[in-house]
Each structure stands twice: as structure tokens, then as C-alpha cells.
Chain A
Amino acid sequence: MNKIMEIKNISLQFGGVKALNDVSFHINEGEIFSIIGPNGAGKTSMLNCISGLYKPSEGEIHYKGKNILPMKPHQRTKLGIARAFQNIALFGSMSVLDNLKLGRHTLMKSGFIKSGIYWGAAEKEEVQHRRKVEEVIDFLQLQDIRHTPVDKLPYGLQKRVEVGRALALDPELILLDEPMAGMNASEKEEMSRFILDMLELKNITVVLIEHDLEVVMGLSNHLVVLDFGKQIGFGTPKEVQQNPDVIKAYIGEELTI
């Protein structure tokens, strides 16, 4: 299988704290890849390094064979790397539609002159992208809330819109930071379906951070385990489950999976 992303010896330091310490793994094209670990293990820091919010002190991140570390966050988005945040980072007073359309920002062309004149080029573009956004709305079943401002929505739906905004980009790689945090069992199941469908129907490679081990083990093809910034396991769910370091450091002495 093709490696879509390769993380090579990444270290990230904040003052004296080593948030990430020599982490290396790779993500295959067309798989669901999970990053797990206890709280504060450096999972979100890892995603921040991938999407460009943090600059690692050492190492390289290759996306399709190209080192993306020198690139700014918005440039990485143009490569087709989308992200949904852990703490919902939607644009509160804007409608679901506008949030999703913002997801398509990099794919739209009209500048401030065409935007302001609107009639003509910009309108055509808006309609064309609206059609794409509606596909996402259908996919995530957001039809009846498309005009609602997102801060009026319940938490579970906000999470879904957050994922939708990343999906609207038509990404090749999507980073999902705890998309199921705070959800009940049926909502989790629904979200798991969406994640599987992303891969099956849209052929998007998924990078997932999740605490629910049942979900993680069930969904992922490969996963990496972090603990205090160190990588203690990497492989298929089976391999990781049998890794003594993982059992000891993360799951605990009594193994019940």
C-alpha cells in the first residue's frame, strides 16, 4: 500500500517540556489510522504538527513524498488535508451552510471585487459550491438544520457539522480530533458509520483520535500509541493489543479488551 503520510522522528518541545519525543510512523493511503494514548500524551500536539499550528523542533513530515514542514497551515489545507477540532471550533453565529461553505474556501476563486459585485461570476460559483455542500449535508444528514446558526445546535450536531466542514473541502486526508467525545452510544455508532463511509464512498484517508478503545480497535487498520510524548506502540490493532509496553503503560495491568 502507498504511504500517504510519513512522520519521521518528530520532536516537539515547549520550554523544558517534551510534548513529542522522537515519534515516527506512517499512514497508508485508504485506511483508518488512529492515534491513541492517555490524556496529555501528545495526540493533539501531533495533529497540530501535521496541520501546521505547531512547528516541531526536529524531524520531518512527508505528505505524498513531500516534506510539508516549511509550509504554512493554509498552504497545507490546499494540499487536501482537512481537520475537525476537538473543542468545537465552528463559527458560532454563522449558519451551518456558511460554515460548510467556509470549508470550501480554498476551492473558491472570487476575490473581494467579484464577491462584492456578486451577480455574475460569484453567484455562479456560490451555486456550484452550494451543490457540493449539499452533498455533504446529505451525507451527514444535516438537511433540516442547514440554515440554523451553529451555536443554537445541540452538542452532538455541532460535532457533526465540525466534521462536515472538514469534509466539505473534498480532502484526501482528514484529521478527526475526538469526533465522538461526549457522545452517547447511538451517536457514536452513527459517527462510526460516517467515518467508515468517508473511506468507502469518498475514498478519504482518515486519521482519528479517540478514547473509546472499542471504537478504535473496531475501526482502525493501524494505530499508534503515545504516552507522555513517547511512541510506545505502532501497528495493527492486534499487534498493539499484544504489545507489553502498551498494556503496561496505557491499558493497565488488568487487560480487558
Chain B
Amino acid sequence: MECGNYKTNYSKDMHLFRIPRVKLRIFIIVLLLFLLPLFTSNYVIGLATLCAIASIGAIGLNILTGFTGQISVGVGAFLAIGGYTSAILTSILGWSFWISLPLAGLVTAIVGGIFGIPSLRLKGLYLAIATLAAQFIVLWAIGRFSGLTGGGEGMVLQRPSIGSFTFSSQTSYYYLCLVILLLVTIYTLNLFRAKTGRAFLAVHHRDVAAQIMGIHLLKYKVVAFALSSFIVGIGGALLAHYTMIVTVELYSIDVSIQYLAMILVGGLGSVFGSILGAIFITLLPVALGYMIEFLTVYMPNAYSLLNSFQEFVFGLVIILFLIFEPGGLIHIWNNIKTYLRLWPFSY
């Protein structure tokens, strides 16, 4: 009789989820996500869609910043490239969304790869400033080439369709985003248990040792930038087709900071952390909004004051996370898991 969970071959030992119970849990969570539209309102589904899109972007950024250790504050720009590429391809050239989506990712990947080249020489804060340049150059270019991008007015997009079916309802678009998020998650999880992902981690930990292990630093850094940008670009295109409009203001530096906050709060170097962080940061303003509404009932005059507190609380949350839980939400989750596993004994 087996008295444990034994692996009888190497393939089994390297599965994504090595314990059947965990597999079941993940399956149930995914199932619940797919069933969500059955018992919630359109408003909630809209929020869930935004969370899914943000998760895609956050995973993309985490590949670069959390896993490979290259700080980027240019996510906003890369989201913009994804959104605008898809807008130009679908609205001006009239191409199908299903071709534009991967192309949007590809164009973003190329631009991201180019901005990744300085990473060979620049590290840490210096690299952050270089990616900040990406943010400004891209936004400037979008404003400048107004013939193509509509300049300050932005562009209008359509929801995608297959045959006669259009993803115009909240629910259908939610499913589309959820499926893509699922694919991105599986891809990323796989990546980090095989050669390329390990090399990314090695570059993060010790680039000198990584070099001696035979890792071509420039190649892997540029690939990390391109791969991350590809996923961010996909997220950008999905977001553009969801809001059905792209303007320069939607992709300011604030957005970049927000995405950085997502992976910081969620957990650097964790796929599930990225998703948790994305949900947290997306829903935080909504939760604060409810709170303000609630408080305004009692203090009607304080509305404007409380409203300005939103930004304050946002900043406070990030600072508190940095101080008390640098590992992020995923670390809290893991701690709870360890606690429950040993409960009620502490050893």
C-alpha cells in the first residue's frame, strides 16, 4: 500500500502541479471563473474582464521585472503600442481581429526588444530610466504621427467577431479575455520549468555566473524584453477592443506605475502573484469608491475631500506592502497555506 505521493518517473516529478489535490483545486478555481457570469451582474463581469486584462499585462511585466530582474517603467507605452497596432490594423486596414491580435503582440515585442538592448550595460535604476525614455518616446510618436493614430482624438475600435457572432456583450468578451489569460498563464508557468525560464532566473540572480554557465546575456535579456512586451502588447490590444477607444491619455506614466504596483503587491517572480496583484490594484479604486459612497451618506460635505484620499490610500497600500510584506500577496497566501497544513500544531 502506498503511504505517500510517490513519483515513478522524472516526467511526473516535473509536472506543473505535482499533487492531485492541487490539480483539483486549480481546476475548481478555473471552473468557477468560467461560471462567474451565471450568478453576477454585467457590472461585475466588466470588472472581472478588466482584472483579466490587467492580469495578462502584469504577467508580462513580471516575466521581465520579477523573473528576469530588469526593471521597466515603460509598460504604459507597450500597452499603447499593442492597442494602437490593433486599432490601425482593424480600423484603418480593415483586417480581422484574430490576425491583428498576434500582430499587435509581435510589433510590441519588436519595439520592446529594441528598448531592451541597453539592458546589457544598464542595471537597476539606470535601466529604469532608460525604459522611462521608452514611455515618453512612444507616446510622443503616437501624438506626432496623427495621420495614422488620430493624434489627440484617438481612434475608435470595434469588438471582434467570428462569422456572424460578435463579442459585443460583456459576458462574451469576458470569456475571450479569460481564455487568453489562461493561455498566457500556462505558457508562463511552462516557460519557467524549462530552459529559457531558468536562464531568465539565472540572469536575475547572478549574471556573472549565468555567463559562465553559457548563457548569452544580451540574447536572453532582449528575449525577456521581447517576450514580456509581446504579452503586454496582447493585453493592450484586448484592452483597446474592450474600451473600444484608444487615446494617448489612457497610457500615461500612471499606468506604468500601476502595473509595477500590481507585481509588487502581488509578488515579484510569481505568476499567480501577478494575477492576485492585478485583481487587487484593479479593484482597489472600486472598493474605495464604495467606501466613499458609504461615508458620504454620513458626511455629505466631505465628498471632495474623501475623493482626493483615493490616491493617498493607493500610495499608502504600496508603501505598507513594501514594508510589511515585500513578498507580496502570494507570500501571504503561501504563509496561510503552511499555517493551515500544520494546524493546529505549530511544528
Interface, chain A (partner B; CB < 8 A): 51-53, 72-74, 77-78, 82-83, 85, 89-94, 98, 101-103, 105-106, 108-112, 114-119, 122-123, 125-127, 130-131, 134, 165, 169
Contacts and interface: CB of A to CB of B under 8 A. Distances in A.
Contact of A126 (B188, B194, B211, B217): B194
B10 A115 contact: no
Contacts of B197: 115
Given A89-B206, A91-B209, A116-B190, A123 B11 contact: yes
A169 B201 contact: no
A131 B13 CA distance: 12
Contacts of B227: 112
B123 interface: no
A26 B216 CA distance: 28
A99 to B, nearest CB: 9
A117 B190 contact: yes
A89 B202 CA distance: 10
Q: Decide if the interface of chain A is mainly helix, strand, loop or mixed.
A: helix
Contact of B214 (A106, A110, A126, A130): A106
B195 A74 contact: no
Contacts of A118: 190-191, 193-194
Nearest to B205: A91
B6 interface: no
B206 A74 contact: no
A109 B214 CA distance: 13
B310 interface: no
A110 B194 contact: yes
Closest 10 CB pairs of A and B: A77-B214, A106-B214, A118-B190, A115-B194, A89-B209, A115-B196, A91-B205, A116-B187, A112-B196, A130-B10
Contacts of B201: 91, 94, 98
Contact of B205 (A94, A103, A117, A165): A94
Given A85-B212, A102-B210, A126-B14, 19 more contacts: A72-B216, A74-B213, A74-B214, A82-B212, A85-B209, A91-B201, A92-B205, A93-B269, A102-B198, A105-B215, A106-B213, A108-B195, A110-B196, A111-B196, A115-B195, A117-B190, A118-B193, A127-B11, A130-B13
B223 interface: yes
A73 B212 contact: yes
B199 interface: yes
A127 B213 contact: no
10 contacts: A53-B211, A74-B214, A74-B215, A93-B269, A102-B199, A105-B202, A114-B194, A119-B190, A130-B14, A169-B213
Interface in B1-60: 9-11, 13-14
B216 A74 contact: yes
A4 to B, nearest CB: 18
B208 interface: yes
Contacts of B10: 126-127, 130-131, 134
Nearest to A92: B205
Nearest to B206: A89
A88 to B, nearest CB: 9
Interface in B184-240: 187-188, 190-191, 193-199, 201-202, 205-206, 208-217, 223, 227
| Most A-side CB within 10 Å, residue of B10, B197, B206, B217 | B10
A22 B212 CA distance: 25
A105 B209 contact: no
Interface in B164-201: 187-188, 190-191, 193-199, 201
Contacts of B269: 93
B212 A105 contact: no
A105 B195 contact: yes
Given A110-B196, A112-B223, A116-B196, A91 B212 contact: no
A171 to B, nearest CB: 11
Contacts of A51: 212
B213 A105 contact: yes
A122 B195 contact: yes
Contact of A105 (B187, B190, B198): B198
